[in-house]
Amino acid sequence: MTRHTKRQHALLAAIPSPKTDAWTWTEDHPHPDVGADEVLIETHYVALNPVDWKGVKYRFGLTPEPKVMGRDGSGIVVAVGDGVTDLVAGDRVWYCSNTALPHSGAFQHFSLHRASQVGKVPPSVSLQSAAAIGTGFLTAAVLLFKCFGFPVSKANVCRGRKTGPWIFITAGASSTGIYLIQLAHRLGLRVITTASKPNHAYLKSLGADVVLKRHDKDHELVHIIRKYTEDGVLLAVDNIGPKHSAVAREILAGSTAWRAEHHITTPSDDTTGRLVSIAGSPKEVPVFPDAVRAVDEIRISFSTTFYGQPEFAREIVNFVYSQLERGLLVPQRVFLDTSGLSGVRAALDVLEAGKVPSGYKLVVGGLKPLPSEAQIFTERASAKARGRLEKRKHYHLDYDLFDLDDLEFDPDAEDAWPPSRKIARSTKPASAPLPSAAAPAATVHSTVA
């Protein structure tokens, strides 16, 4: 067994004994050594997900022995194993940790990952934005490419007007929703989604065709969606929970009575509606006597699909790189907390309390800024202070992520990086020209609920 001599800081969690906290902070955690097909990453930013606090609160994925939690991060490769050919030390990367593996959790400075599951970050994308890709993007990718069976290659092509089937996505401004909308759009699907009003323009800029108010009553929502789509929604993803999953099922089922009332003469087809509920389904499957079509509920297994299929994982991380590089995939907007690794525990409370602005990803930085990022930021801040801000194209980092007016920042301070707190805005171009229709693949691995 390897004896780890180097030590590091880490945030651990374990099944707690009565009256103890599940979380512990240590400054004496082993610094892992790299194996043959692994890469060692120095993390600069971690992005927080609901599962990070839910898992600990509801005790899933926890062991009696403390282990490092945390899924999503970005940083720099510092070492690669002998068998790794496509990553080298110095590469800027994003990852979504398989926390079942030892040394993989994001909430430590140095973590180990299978090379096939690590994505390179193109120079045009900042590391803080890249941290926000992980779980949200991969869930959306597994949903569309595995649960619904669309080929990844279809999402690579930009074609004309969208004529594909309608997909209904609840909570379009969730992390999963933001990536689902972009991918569905690229596949030529027509997207109808729900969100609070301030997120409507944002979701449309990502490719949503119709964005509805999230607070509409269920029966109103069903009615409005039937109207927009002529009762034609064939795919649905629920990102919220059982009640919303039931509404999605009702929409997918269609209604002969509604069609008669609204003089919809489209003949019923025998296409089965397909639903994935990532945040739980109702205990009893609702039945709709006047349904137009049957509904399959497809179960998602994020971890067995992404971590269990290295070829799929590699295809997806390569796809992300090319999409980011071409400006066709926009990472979720970032709400940055710069309190460093020791601030993650408090940041999780902020997330659990619902205090992160809707549609933003909570990213914790201050773990280790890139000198070049610090330098660019300082230069830009000084330039603005002198009233002659200009974009200098030879810098590869995303200037426009930072809105200096939002920052508490003293450009003369020596430790001007990182600024104390900010919301970073991505102003990358909206999605690509509309692709044409893509039909769902014939074979879908489905379980009818």
Binding region for ligand NAP (CB under 6 A): 49-51, 54, 135-136, 139, 171, 173-176, 195-196, 199, 214, 239-240, 278-279, 300, 302, 358-359
User: DSSP class of residue 343?
Assistant: G
Q: Alpha-carbon distance 440 to 306, whole Å? A: 20
Q: How far is CA 91 from the centre of its chain?
A: 21
Residue 374 burial (CB count, 10 A): 14
Of all residues in the shown chain, the one whose CB is closest to ligand NAP is 174
CA angle 85, 119, 82 (to 5 degrees): 25
Q: Residue ranges of the alpha helices (H) in 144-255?
A: 175-186, 200-206, 218-229, 242-253
> Apex CA 283: angle with CA 280 and CA 288, to 5°?
100
Distance between CA 73 and CA 111 in Å, rounded?
Answer: 10
Nearer to ligand NAP, 116 or 175 (CB): 175
Residue 144 C-beta: closest distance to ligand NAP, Å: 13
Residues 6+ apart with CB under 8 A from 21: none
CB of 306 to ligand NAP, least distance (A): 10
Exposure letters 148-166 (e unless 16+ CB within 10 A, then b)? bbbebebbeeebeebebbb
CB of 352 to ligand NAP, least distance (A): 10
- Indicate if the alpha-carbon torsion angle 374, 377, 379, 382 is positive or negative: negative
**Least distance from C-beta 278 to ligand NAP, angstroms?**
4
Closest CB 401 distance from ligand NAP, rounded Å: 19
CB of 300 to ligand NAP, least distance (A): 5
Q: Nearer Cβ to ligand NAP, position 176 or 339?
A: 176
Q: Toward ligand NAP, which CB reaches closer, 108 or 174? A: 174
Q: Which residue, 255 or 281, is less far from ligand NAP as judged by CB?
A: 281
Q: Which is nearer to ligand NAP, 84 or 183 (CB)?
A: 183
10 Å CB burial of residue 182 (0-12, 13-18, 19+) is buried
Our CB check for ligand NAP shows the closer of 348 and 407 to be 348
Identify which of residues 199 and 323 has a Cβ nearer to ligand NAP in the complex: 199
Which are the contacts of 139, defined by CB distance < 8 A and separation ≥ 6? 175, 176, 179, 278, 300, 302
To ligand NAP, the closest distance from the beta carbon of 185 in angstroms equals: 17
